[in-house]
Amino acid sequence: MSLKKVFATGIIFALAVSLVSPGAAVAETADDLQAQIAALQVQLDALLAQLGDLEGDDDAEEVTGGACPVACAGVSFSSNLSLGANSSDVKCLQAMLNRDEETQVASSSYGSPGNETTYYGNLTKAAVVKFQEKYSEDCLASWGLTVGTGFFGSTSRAKMNYLLTACAAEVEPEPEPVGEASDYDNETDCAAANYYWYGEVCNETAEESPVTASGLTIAVANDTPVATTLADGSAYNSMLKLKLSAGSEGDVNVTGLKVTKGGISGNTYVEGILVVDENGNRHGAVITSLAADSTASLTFSDDPIVVSAGQSVYVTVQVNLGASFGSGTISMKVASASDVTSNASAVSGSFPVQGNTMSVVDGVATIGGLYVDAVQFHNNGTADATAVNVNLGTVDQIIGKLEFTESAASASEDVQIEKVTIYNNGNTTDADIANIDLVAPDGTVLATLPSLSGKYGTFDLSSSPYVIPDGTAKIVTLRCDVVSGSTRTVRFLVESDYDVVVSGVSSGSKILATADATTGDNAGDHSFPIGDRYYHSDGVNGTYINKVTIASGSLSVSKSTTSPSGNVAARRK
């Protein structure tokens, strides 16, 4: 307490004592006594006011600007942080990001100013991206990047540590809660009173962070692809099979892998990098090019690879090789633990985790090719407005047709189709159509889907692939049963080249399907998605095709000719 406070308190104490001391003036009457008490009360109030002023002055001297978050006391970012991290460093990171409206983690609830947590979730990752892009010269330029990654690595840490140093001399006092948490019935007032809003109520303590998953071990699988020779122009070449093992404490979600290319070859010759699980399902998008440092960051937060506690799963890194690769070598590896994005408490392994080195040769005279095109069956006009109506209850209604052509002029190889994925870009629901068939030209049903899921469906022919002989074309039909959905539409598309899985019959090489870009009269569709356009001689002005509209049903009521007629006698009592 300051001398001013001590002095003022002493005066007030002395005044109070004077009321009861033996030497105090004695009032002759009760009214006189009351008057003395009132006068002393006035003096006491004045002195209390002066004391309040003095305390206010001292508080102003003791509180500084407060720009540095309390959560950052003693923190220096020395370790990388990424999605799933759980530590006090994360809370400091969120608090520092929240100092700037441009990099704020959230405007309300978890992660917002005053509601920072120790968990590095998607909101934190998005805020780190904004931070990296705001300070791109410091965080991204040295990596040759212009778009933030959300990975809080060395250059981002250096920039944030610089900002921490700049505010380290300032102290921000922890705000005191106002009133009781139960006094507030909405998020805004709850946060303003320095309490925590979650579970639709105001709480005195912050919500507990999600439980951190167990550790993750990554290793080369025993059956990783052996060293072999690959043909350029081939696709889905398996390069590295990984074994991902979770500890016994809990499940682990793997949401990203960063892989690095090795070997004697240029980065531009790698035209696709993807990761697939044991069932052949791709996780995340296909990365179509390598970065300058020969890396590709595969992300799949919306479709994580889940490793159950105490269990192992296997995933494979695949690459597509450009037709101009020529000859050389190629390998793929996971260079370090930081290249694995997950919610694991730690990632371990014998790094780098590397696959075998493959040789690449010119495949132009070896492997086949496949064009995918649309065939007009229904004409919807140049504005896609011409309705082609089909009735409810129609069975085996033809929706569209696709043409598959073996396209490699320099290679004498048949190709075989193993999978075809279609998408319904009409506005029918999955329940409106059923029993979707893929039918060969001779009427053979190659595969049937009972229904679509989320408007997608995959015809799996891998047990009996459909062969397209060298230099020939086959037109297949897509048909379905119309169950419901009056006034709604159906149209089937092949959205991308990755939706047709095809391989060479003799070479065994996987091949990436391409759209037939041939121009001329009745040239069909020119680019993915395939199935909605049909171009003519100019190669520009096309017709929309193969969309059907489910017609509204009608009901007629009439008397049957066999209905009884005649007089009916009245009943008598």
Mean pLDDT of 518-547: 73
Q: According to the model, what pLDDT value does residue 217 have?
A: 95
Would you say 216 and 252 are in contact if contact means Cβ atoms under 8 Å apart? yes
Of 168-172, 464-468, 569-573, the range with the lowest mean pLDDT is 168-172
| Helices (runs of H) and strands (runs of E) counted in the chain | 7, 33
Q: Which residue has the tokens 């990654």?
A: 149
Q: What is the dihedral of CA 384, 385, 391, 394, to 10 degrees?
A: 0
Domains in the chain: boundaries: 3-62, 70-174, 216-361, 370-550
Residue 445 CA to residue 435 CA, distance in Å, equals 11
Per the structure block, which two tokens stand in for 548? 């059907």
Work out whether the CA dihedral 102, 108, 112, 113 comes out positive or negative: positive
Mean pLDDT of 242-256: 93
pLDDT in tens, 301-324: 989 999 999 999 999 999 999 988
Domain 70-174 of CATH type 1.10.3720.10: no
Q: According to the model, what pLDDT value does residue 410 have?
A: 74
Residue 398 CA to residue 392 CA, distance in Å, equals 14
Work out whether the CA dihedral 192, 196, 198, 203 comes out positive or negative: negative
Model confidence at 536, pLDDT cuts 50, 70, 90, reads low
Mean pLDDT of 324-341: 94
Does this chain's domain 70-174 share its CATH topology with 216-361?
Answer: no
User: How many CA atoms lie less than 13 Å away from 332 in the CB half-sphere?
Assistant: 29
Whether the per-residue pLDDT at 329 is higher than 90: the answer is yes
DSSP assignment of 90-104, as one string? HHHHHHHHHTSGGG-
- As assigned by CATH, the class of the 216-361 domain is mainly beta
402 three-state secondary structure: strand
Would you say 407 and 514 are in contact if contact means Cβ atoms under 8 Å apart? yes
Phi, psi of 162, rounded to the nearest 5 degrees? -60, -45
Residue 243 CA to residue 181 CA, distance in Å, equals 49
Would you say 153 and 85 are in contact if contact means Cβ atoms under 8 Å apart? no
Adjacency order of strands within the sheet including 216-220: 270-277, 312-321, 237-246, 216-220, 347-348
Model confidence at 55, pLDDT cuts 50, 70, 90, reads very low
Number of other CB atoms surrounding residue 4 within 10 Å: 15
Model confidence at 170, pLDDT cuts 50, 70, 90, reads low
Query: What percentage of the chain has pLDDT greater than the value 70?
Result: 81
User: How many CA atoms lie less than 13 Å away from 248 in the CB half-sphere?
Assistant: 0
Residue 50 CA to residue 418 CA, distance in Å, equals 89
Q: According to the model, what pLDDT value does residue 190 have?
A: 86
Among 453, 445, 449, 452, CA closest to 435: 449
Mean pLDDT of 274-287: 92
Residue 276 CA to residue 377 CA, distance in Å, equals 35
Ramachandran sector of residue 566 (left: φ over 0; alpha: ψ -120 to 50; beta: rest): left
Q: According to the model, what pLDDT value does residue 25 have?
A: 47
Mean pLDDT of 202-209: 76
Highest mean pLDDT, choosing among 9-18, 52-61, 487-496, 528-537? 487-496
Q: According to the model, what pLDDT value does residue 407 have?
A: 84
Q: According to the model, what pLDDT value does residue 32 have?
A: 61
Whether the per-residue pLDDT at 570 is higher than 70: the answer is no
Q: What is the dihedral of CA 535, 541, 547, 553, to 10 degrees?
A: -140
